[in-house]
Amino acid sequence: MRVFGRGAPGARRALILLTTALWGCGGGAPRSDDALRVALWAGGYELDVEHRVIEAYERENPGTRVVLESAPTGYEERLLTSITSGHPPDVFLMDGPDIPTFVDRGLAVDLAPYLDELGFDSEQVFPQVLEAFRRGDALFAFPKDFT
């Protein structure tokens, strides 16, 4: 399954997949559920597509369970509340301009050391788009789509 690409035409803004640093968020009580939590704002057709992607991922990765947490309104407030309460999602989407706030607060993981393991092909992404998510050699997000 190809996860990275050059983006969908007509997308209004860049959506960014940002992985949270669970250990950087103050911890919190351990979860009894080993599901991977993915938070995003979506509704309608887009949410249906996200569910199909997750179903395909779970089929390709037996034993892995992904829980999609969608908030079509009030997303950013809910995301910050979950982080400050010590129960952040494992992966979340956000607008590009919001990334520095999360990076500055230590709420993001440097993904650069994991690029090979993740199968990330930077040739599939416009360099200018990828640069928006870098600080020095560190990479804190992947583009989901952009215009």
Q: Are 107 and 83 in contact (CB under 8 A)?
A: yes
Token pair of 119, please? 């199968």
Confidence grade of residue 84 (pLDDT, cut at 50, 70, 90): confident
Look at residue 3 and tell me if it is in a domain.
no
Q: Which two tokens stand for residue 108?
A: 């993001």
Question: Residue 90 is part of which domain span?
Answer: 15-145
| Mean pLDDT on 16-22 | 38
**Alpha-carbon distance 72 to 116, whole Å?**
33
CB 59 within 8 A of CB 7: no
pLDDT band at 89 (very low <50, low <70, confident <90, very high): very high
Mean pLDDT of all residues in the chain? 77
Which of 14, 19, 43 has its CA nearest to residue 114?
A: 19
3-state class (DSSP) for residue 141 = coil
Q: What is the CA radius of gyration of the chain?
A: 15
Whichever domain contains 140, its CATH number is 3.40.190.10
Q: Is residue 129 part of a domain?
A: yes
The tokens for 21 are 């640093």
Give residue 110's pLDDT. 92
Q: Is residue 7 part of a domain?
A: no
**Cα(139)–Cα(144) distance, rounded to whole angstroms?**
14
In a domain, 45, yes or no: yes
Residue 10 maps to a domain: no
pLDDT digits (tens, 9 = 90+) for 95-117: 888 888 888 888 888 999 998 89
Residue 44's pLDDT band (boundaries 50, 70, 90)?
confident
Separation of alpha carbons 50 and 59, rounded Å: 14
CA angle 68, 44, 81 (to 5 degrees): 40
| pTM value surpassing 0.75 | no
How many domains are contained in the chain?
1
Say whether pLDDT at 88 is over 60: yes
For residue 25, being part of any structural domain is answered with yes
- As a whole number, mean pLDDT of residues 1-6 equals 36
Note whether residue 94 is domain-resident. yes
User: pLDDT by residue (tens digit) across 118-147?
Assistant: 888 888 888 888 888 899 999 998 887 776
What is the predicted pLDDT for the residue at 33?
Answer: 65
